[in-house]
């Protein structure tokens, strides 16, 4: 089975509108591949026809794999009864994801379509703050008691398991519904029928609070490598669980977002190949124009030294070298800190340790870079030029690097995204420093 | 349970060498937290003592959570019998990860410690190429036949499950051991005892080949959202399986590596806070010095126009603006392409479509940027300066952006890492273009 599942044969079935044969093929595909297949068809009418070829239970799985724009497109081609059916069949967490994207008046209308108990669940999940663990949660799970036997537990699982998306992990709760332990279904199966649940409990489990940030959930999954984590309220009462597939998706999206941000691109909301020219333009133009203003400050700094440049034109040779090196060192620092924040390797309170370390590193780098370019300086403009270039290089590498380290911390203090300290921003800011250092030092050493 | 599990109480037990109390606490921690705890202790002696407080089965779990330097440190404090015990208890995939890092003479020696069958397994896994799916695989799994009843299958699972790390997914194979289907343990449990395995098969499954790249495994897990994937050989014969926890780890490491590379930092091998000053220096200095050479080319370009600069000093004001904007546009493009390659959103053969799209986007950006700075140009140096600045800006934004888009493709064609097209590299290369465009256009329009 390939990720690119749209084989010429399947394509041919679609082109020739051979729905009967397609209907036989579709159940053999993974839901996410069927979703990709439907997206590849351009007319809404055909998309709806293909979707309606799916058996009912598979349809909900396929629907939940779709991006919101495709979901909307499919629903737009269906009648109320069909819409009601799909929404009711969706797993609660997939339903939350769908409603999150809907305009609020649409949500209000569609939520009325749900049976009372599903409606209650949905409203409760949507009640959690955006980007919180609660929004990812599914409230369906299997819970057992510690004084039950394995046999009784298995009977319970067989009874209610059909309505639970995933019960590879079963929860042990007390009478107040407080979480006591998380047990692998595997362990239950390997235990004796007459043994008590208690006998296989180890009383260690990892849980998340429903109000915590989704980023924390990603860290927990990565740290503990567990496929499912229970979600509890502030009292430790079990509310639901989160599965790793949602987490993989979020981890990937967050990394992409940070990637784009550190290059001064507002995060794309669609995969690269599906992003339109105008959207690319919109996501890029803001920062490019904003950085003009930072560069104009460098321009003024340059203009300030016009007379010096006229007197010692040899200086212009070194401008790209000096100003770029500061930006390069700064880009390195900021990228490392931004990523370390994202993976949870560095915390705000460690700022002092981090800055001190970067100071040492950047001084070593500055020294190396200064020495490397001093010879170029001597060669192009004599001894004093060599010293001037070396000193400026050292100064701009150290300050550029520190700028790249400190700015993400400052952004974080103000609850802004550290990834805003993008490579282009740091480079443009370091340019100002580079210009000022180089010309001031040269003026002092070489003079007019 | 917190990720930062080293509470003052536990710290106190370690400080006071109260090993007896610590021994009671340790089994209540998750293995990865115990591994962190052991790392936090500085003396090898104490590390070994704490490690030896662990019950035997837990010890292997904790050991497999450790980074290699810590594993090495622990083994250095143990005798041969103890080493033999740990290595034998390790899961095959964790053992592969350990031996991968060992110097080959150490591997040769330690592998002799293993019982014959475990030794065979280990050698086989180490036989797969580095960074291949085979290296992540565990050859222990549960396989059943399609003509078995559920009852017989469950009996089989109970018999061999104890030696299998994870059997949340059970495989159906034919008599030639070829993979026919992957079935959730959950489905088996919810089925009637007398039903045949065949009756719950859907004959759709996703599998990986042992020789494929680990990156592909990451894409498969992200795309399909499955917790475990089977690994087969070229004939479709089942070899083993991969679990998502290894994949989460690899996905995170790969994203970090790309993050560092796009900022011209050689990937750090240790978490940020554990990386030493000298290592930071080593990872950063190479590219910084290498980029000096690219910047010197810009310097020569600048020097070529010395006379023009002397005649029209007002030009210097625009140098940072023009050269930075090309670099910024290029950084945006390269970051987006690098990430799209990494997530599998863009493939090499789509280069034409991507370049064409970027051409349109960058022309729109160039136009906007040109217009934005034309007024600044007119204001600082008159009408011709305005035109010169606007044209140079448009040209450098378009070429910078295309450079950022095309370079990752070229690297990929030559089987090099596209992430080498880092922000600093693109910026430095775009500088050369910026200098040449700006001064050539100015010379033509404004003259000497």
B299-335, pLDDT tens digit by residue? 999 999 988 888 888 888 999 999 999 999 999 999 9
Predicted local confidence at residue A222, as pLDDT: 86
H-helix or E-strand containing A85? helix A80-89
Judge: B299–A319 Cβ closer than 8 Å, yes or no. Answer: yes
Q: Convert the pLDDT of each residue in B96-114 to its tens digit.
A: 989 988 888 888 889 988 9
Judge: A281–B361 Cβ closer than 8 Å, yes or no. Answer: yes
B283 close to B265: Cβ distance less than 8 angstroms: yes
Q: Cβ contacts (< 8 Å) between A313 and chain B: which residues?
A: 306, 309-310
Mutate to test the interface with B, among A163, A266, A302, A321 (most CBs of B within 10 A): A321
Helix boundaries (H) for A102-227: 104-111, 116-126, 150-160, 185-190, 214-224
- Tell me the HSE value of A443 on the side-chain side, using a 13 A CA sphere: 14
Judge: A249–B222 Cβ closer than 8 Å, yes or no. Answer: yes
Which are the contacts of B115, defined by CB distance < 8 A and separation ≥ 6? B88
A264 vs B260, B305, B332: nearest CB: B332
Judge: B161–A319 Cβ closer than 8 Å, yes or no. Answer: no
Judge: B263–A219 Cβ closer than 8 Å, yes or no. Answer: no
Distance (Å) from the C-alpha of residue A295 to the closest C-alpha of chain B?
Answer: 5
Q: Convert the pLDDT of each residue in B143-191 to its tens digit.
A: 999 999 999 999 999 999 988 888 999 999 999 999 999 999 999 999 9
Return the residue of A nearest to B204 by Cα: A28
Judge: B244–A249 Cβ closer than 8 Å, yes or no. Answer: no
A221 vs B1, B28, B248: nearest CB: B248
B248 vs A225, A314, A329: nearest CB: A225
Judge: A332–B284 Cβ closer than 8 Å, yes or no. Answer: yes
Judge: B369–A292 Cβ closer than 8 Å, yes or no. Answer: yes
Q: Is pLDDT at B5 greater than 70 in this prediction?
A: no
Q: Cβ contacts (< 8 Å) between A273 and chain B: which residues?
A: 340, 345-346, 350, 353-354
For A235, list phi and psi in degrees, rounded to 5: -90, 0
Distance (Å) from the C-alpha of residue A187 to the closest C-alpha of chain B?
Answer: 9
Mutate to test the interface with B, among A244, A423, A425 (most CBs of B within 10 A): A423
Distance (Å) from the C-alpha of residue B215 to the closest C-alpha of chain A?
Answer: 13
Judge: A277–B431 Cβ closer than 8 Å, yes or no. Answer: no
Q: Cβ contacts (< 8 Å) between A167 and chain B: which residues?
A: 186
Judge: A325–B295 Cβ closer than 8 Å, yes or no. Answer: yes
Distance (Å) from the C-alpha of residue A116 to the closest C-alpha of chain B?
Answer: 27
Distance (Å) from the C-alpha of residue B389 to the closest C-alpha of chain A?
Answer: 13
Positions of chain A with pLDDT lower than 50, given as ranges: 1-2
B165 close to B208: Cβ distance less than 8 angstroms: no
Q: Cβ contacts (< 8 Å) between B280 and chain A: which residues?
A: 357-358, 361
Task: Give me B295's structure tokens.
Answer: 């910047």
Judge: B251–A248 Cβ closer than 8 Å, yes or no. Answer: yes
Judge: A291–B222 Cβ closer than 8 Å, yes or no. Answer: no
Predicted local confidence at residue B232, as pLDDT: 94
B244 vs A154, A244, A327: nearest CB: A244
Predicted local confidence at residue B2, as pLDDT: 39
Which are the contacts of B400, defined by CB distance < 8 A and separation ≥ 6? B325, B326, B327, B328, B329, B330, B333, B362, B426, B430, B433, B434
A186 vs B168, B260, B353: nearest CB: B168
Concatenate the DSSP letters of all residues of A250-272 into one string: HHHHHHHHHHHHTTT-PPPSS-G
Return the residue of B nearest to A225 by Cα: B245
B142 close to B157: Cβ distance less than 8 angstroms: yes
Predicted local confidence at residue B38, as pLDDT: 92
A361 vs B251, B280, B376: nearest CB: B280
Judge: B310–A306 Cβ closer than 8 Å, yes or no. Answer: no
List b or e across A179-201, with b for residues whose CB sees 16 or more CB atoms inside 10 angstroms: bbbbbbbbbbbbbeeeebbeebb
Residue A407: count other Cβ atoms within 10 Å of its Cβ: 22
Which are the contacts of B321, defined by CB distance < 8 A and separation ≥ 6? A292, A295, A296, A298, A299, B373, B376, B389, B393
Return the residue of B nearest to A245 by Cα: B225
Distance (Å) from the C-alpha of residue B211 to the closest C-alpha of chain A?
Answer: 15
Q: Is pLDDT at B239 greater than 70 in this prediction?
A: yes
| Coil vs helix vs strand at B35 | helix
Judge: A189–B331 Cβ closer than 8 Å, yes or no. Answer: no
Q: Cβ contacts (< 8 Å) between B408 and chain A: which residues?
A: none
Return the residue of A nearest to B434 by Cα: A320
Judge: B157–A189 Cβ closer than 8 Å, yes or no. Answer: yes
ipTM score: 0.84
Concatenate the DSSP letters of all residues of B182-193 into one string: EEEHHHHHTS-T
Distance (Å) from the C-alpha of residue A439 to the closest C-alpha of chain B?
Answer: 13
**What span, in angstroms and rounded, lies between the C-alpha atoms of B407 and B386?**
31
Judge: B313–A318 Cβ closer than 8 Å, yes or no. Answer: no
Predicted local confidence at residue A5, as pLDDT: 62
Distance (Å) from the C-alpha of residue B92 to the closest C-alpha of chain A?
Answer: 17
Distance (Å) from the C-alpha of residue B124 to the closest C-alpha of chain A?
Answer: 25
Judge: B186–A168 Cβ closer than 8 Å, yes or no. Answer: yes
Distance (Å) from the C-alpha of residue B120 to the closest C-alpha of chain A?
Answer: 27
Predicted local confidence at residue B4, as pLDDT: 57
Return the residue of A nearest to B208 by Cα: A1
Share of chain B above pLDDT 90, in %: 64
Q: Is pLDDT at B291 greater than 70 in this prediction?
A: yes
Chains A & B: contacts with CB separation below 8 Å: 377
Q: Convert the pLDDT of each residue in A385-437 to its tens digit.
A: 999 999 999 999 999 999 999 999 999 999 999 998 899 999 999 999 999 99
Judge: A292–B325 Cβ closer than 8 Å, yes or no. Answer: yes
Mutate to test the interface with A, among B165, B291, B321 (most CBs of A within 10 A): B321
Judge: B29–A162 Cβ closer than 8 Å, yes or no. Answer: no
The DSSP code for A53 is T
Q: Convert the pLDDT of each residue in B345-360 to its tens digit.
A: 898 999 999 999 999 9
Judge: A262–B260 Cβ closer than 8 Å, yes or no. Answer: no
B424 vs A220, A328, A345: nearest CB: A328
Judge: B328–A227 Cβ closer than 8 Å, yes or no. Answer: no
Average pLDDT over residues B379-393: 92
Distance (Å) from the C-alpha of residue B369 to the closest C-alpha of chain A?
Answer: 7
**What span, in angstroms and rounded, lies between the C-alpha atoms of A339 and B335?**
15
Q: Extract long-range pairs of B233-239: CB within 8 Å, 24+ residues apart.
A: B233/B209, B234/B209, B235/B178, B236/B178, B236/B179, B236/B207, B237/B176, B237/B177, B237/B178, B237/B179, B238/B141, B238/B143, B238/B171, B238/B173, B238/B177, B238/B178, B238/B179, B239/B134, B239/B137, B239/B139, B239/B210
Task: Give me A411's structure tokens.
Answer: 């952004």
């Amino acid at each position: 089975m390939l990720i690119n599942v749209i084989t010429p044969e399947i394509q041919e079935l679609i082109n020739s509108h051979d729905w009967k044969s397609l209907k036989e093929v579709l159940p053999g595909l993974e839901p996410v591949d069927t979703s990709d297949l439907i997206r590849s068809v351009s007319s809404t009418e055909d998309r709806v026809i293909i979707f309606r070829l799916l058996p009912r239970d598979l349809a909900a799985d396929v629907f939940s794999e779709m991006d919101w724009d495709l979901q909307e497109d499919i629903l737009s081609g269906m009648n109320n009864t069909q819409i009601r059916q799909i929404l009711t069949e969706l797993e609660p967490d997939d339903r939350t994801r769908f409603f999150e994207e809907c305009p609020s008046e649409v949500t209000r209308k569609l939520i009325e379509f749900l049976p009372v108990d599903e409606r209650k669940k949905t409203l409760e999940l949507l009640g959690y703050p955006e980007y919180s663990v609660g929004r990812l949660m599914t409230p369906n799970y299997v819970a057992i008691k510690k004084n039950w036997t394995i046999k009784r537990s298995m009977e319970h699982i067989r009874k209610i398991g059909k309505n639970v998306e995933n019960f590879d992990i079963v929860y042990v709760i007390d009478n107040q519904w407080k979480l006591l332990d998380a047990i692998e279904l595997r362990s239950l199966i390997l235990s004796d029928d007459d043994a008590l649940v208690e006998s296989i409990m180890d009383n260690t489990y990892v849980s998340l609070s429903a109000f915590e940030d989704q980023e924390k959930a990603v860290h927990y999954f990565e740290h503990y490598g567990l496929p499912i984590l229970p979600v509890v309220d502030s009292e430790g009462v079990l509310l639901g669980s989160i599965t790793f597939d949602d987490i993989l998706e979020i981890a990937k999206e967050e990394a992409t977002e940070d990637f784009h941000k550190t290059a001064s691109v507002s995060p794309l909301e669609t995969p690269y190949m599906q992003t339109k020219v105008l959207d690319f333009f919109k996501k890029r133009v803001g920062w490019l124009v904003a950085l003009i203003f930072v560069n104009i400050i460098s321009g003024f700094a340059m203009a300030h030294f016009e007379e010096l440049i006229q007197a010692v034109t040899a200086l212009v040779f070194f401008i790209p070298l000096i100003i770029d090196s500061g930006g390069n060192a700064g880009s390195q620092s900021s990228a490392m800190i931004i990523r370390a924040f994202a993976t949870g390797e560095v915390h705000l309170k460690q700022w002092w340790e981090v800055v001190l370390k970067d100071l040492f590193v950047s001084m070593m780098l500055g020294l190396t870079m200064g020495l490397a370019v001093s010879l170029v300086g001597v060669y192009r403009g004599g001894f004093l030029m060599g010293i001037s270039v070396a000193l400026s290089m050292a100064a701009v590498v150290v300050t550029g690097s520190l700028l790249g380290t400190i700015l993400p911390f400052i952004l974080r203090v103000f609850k802004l995204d550290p990834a805003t300290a993008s490579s282009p921003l740091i480079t443009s800011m370091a340019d100002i420093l580079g210009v000022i250092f180089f010309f001031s030092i040269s003026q002092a050493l070489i003079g007019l």
